[in-house]
Amino acid sequence: MKKERVVIIGSGPSGLSAALYTARAQLKPLVIAGPQLGGQVALTHEIENYPGYLHLGGAELVDKMKEHAEHFGARIEFDLVTEVDFSQGSPFTVKTMSETYSADTVIVTIGADPRKLGVPGEAEYTGTGVSYCGTCDGFFFRDKEIVVVGGGDSAIEEALFLTRFASKVEIIHRRDALRAGAALQKRAFSNEKISFIWDTQVKEIHADDKGIVNGITLWNKKTDETTTKPTEGVFIFIGHDPNSPIFGDQLALNDAGYIISDERYRTSVDGVFAAGEIQDEIWRQVATSSGQGVSAAMSTIHWLEEHEDELQPLDETPAPVGD
Ligand code: NAP
């Protein structure tokens, strides 16, 4: 079993920011990155709202964050965590596909994924007309007629944003009342480009022979009527699912499955911290996730200082790093 001072699970902006701060504290953190660096952000075409950068690709940002953290001694492993055991307190056991680690502290930054409809065509045409991010993809739908699926704050906020580009935005909701807050509802109802299709579910997404989305099949649950509708874009905002199943019996989660953390990003287990979308179901921004990663790292550093006398030596003393 490999012994580590800090294991960071996840390599999005929160994980890589936590890696930078713990690396600068000479802790030589190990980042278990998952199959690809950056999670959702790496798939974002362009980011315009990360302070200091007017234009930045998502993949470029996480590459820079990785390079920055590695410069100060962070180690990145492209591996998947399969199991954790926090039940005995620190040191914790973290198992991956290829290794088992004993970690004095753990920072969980494993994120959340957009919830899927699970209908035919959705997975096949993601990127060619199906999208989960208006900010990322709205620009490609200039003067096109599109649909938005969902009735919560995200769906309405994104539908409003998409009216900047699309000529028409139809919101398809499975009930006849929105879940979104009153202020957003008011703006949507008064927007001339937005209309609503109530009590309706998307059953299938269709594409032309090049795989470009050109229509959907709808089912009205009140009339039991099935219809088809031409559209060039299907934006799906029906919530997020936190990637928390492996922590379910180890950490306290809220009803929606997000890890419960306090203002210092401490979880229900002393020595385990959480940052980014795995514990934040509201803000979900690169900048907020990054800041949360920094805060969780600082809490981790303080925790290790407080427990200095109890820590077992590492097999390999972290090499001092320059700055
Ligand atoms: P949400 O509040 O859970 O809403 C999800 C919406 O998708 C609901 O209308 C739900 O329908 C619908 N839905 C869920 N599963 C579906 C399915 N399989 N098929 C069709 N429709 C489905 O999620 P969210 O909008 O992403 O918001 C998440 C949290 O972030 C909320 O707390 C929200 O307030 C917050 N947020 C706030 C803001 C803001 O304040 N500006 C912006 C974005 C998000 P039902 O209504 O029938 O359940």
C-beta 203 within 6 A of ligand 1: no
d(CA 11, CA 221): 41
Name the token pair of 71.
């410069």
Q: Which residue's alpha carbon is nearest to atom 14 within ligand 1?
A: 238
100 C-alpha vs ligand 1 centroid, how far in Å?
A: 37
Instruction: Tell the residue number behind the tokens 């989660």, with chain if given.
Output: 253
C-beta 175 within 6 A of ligand 1: yes
Query: What number of residues does the chain have?
Result: 323
The set of catalytic residues is 133, 136-137
Q: Would the CATH topology of 2-113+240-310 be identical to that of 130-236?
A: yes
223 C-alpha vs ligand 1 centroid, how far in Å?
A: 24
**At 9, is the secondary structure helix, strand, or coil?**
strand
**Best mutation site among 174, 221, 240 for ligand 1, i.e. most ligand atoms within 8 A of its Cβ?**
174
At 152 the pLDDT is 95
Q: Check if the beta carbon of residue 289 is closer than 8 Å to that of residue 14.
A: yes
Residue 177 sits at φ, ψ, to 5 deg, of -145, 140
45 C-alpha vs ligand 1 centroid, how far in Å?
A: 24
Ligand 1 atom showing the smallest separation from residue 153 Cα: 25
CATH superfamily of 2-113+240-310: FAD/NAD(P)-binding domain (3.50.50.60)
C-beta 187 within 6 A of ligand 1: no
C-beta 179 within 6 A of ligand 1: yes
How many C-beta neighbours within 10 Å does residue 316 have? 9
Q: Check if the beta carbon of residue 232 is closer than 8 Å to that of residue 144.
A: yes
86 C-alpha vs ligand 1 centroid, how far in Å?
A: 32
Tens of pLDDT, residue by residue, the chain (323 residues): 999 999 999 999 999 999 999 999 999 999 999 988 998 788 666 677 899 998 888 889 999 999 999 999 999 999 999 999 999 999 999 999 999 999 999 999 999 999 999 999 999 999 899 999 887 789 999 999 999 999 999 899 999 999 999 999 999 999 999 999 999 999 999 999 999 999 999 999 999 999 999 999 999 999 999 999 999 999 999 998 999 999 999 999 999 999 999 999 999 999 999 999 999 988 888 999 999 999 999 999 999 999 999 999 987 655 555 44
Alpha carbon 70 to its chain centroid, in Å, reads 22
**At 36, is the secondary structure helix, strand, or coil?**
coil
CATH superfamily of 130-236: FAD/NAD(P)-binding domain (3.50.50.60)
Ligand 1 atom showing the smallest separation from residue 175 Cα: 47
Closest residue by Cα to residue 32 from 10, 54, 16, 52:
10
At 45 the pLDDT is 64
Domain residue ranges of the chain, discontinuous segments joined by +: 2-113+240-310, 130-236
181 C-alpha vs ligand 1 centroid, how far in Å?
A: 10
Strands (DSSP E) found in 208-270 = 213-220, 225-230, 233-236, 240-242
C-beta 151 within 6 A of ligand 1: yes
53 C-alpha vs ligand 1 centroid, how far in Å?
A: 30
**At 8, is the secondary structure helix, strand, or coil?**
strand
C-beta 281 within 6 A of ligand 1: yes
C-beta 117 within 6 A of ligand 1: yes
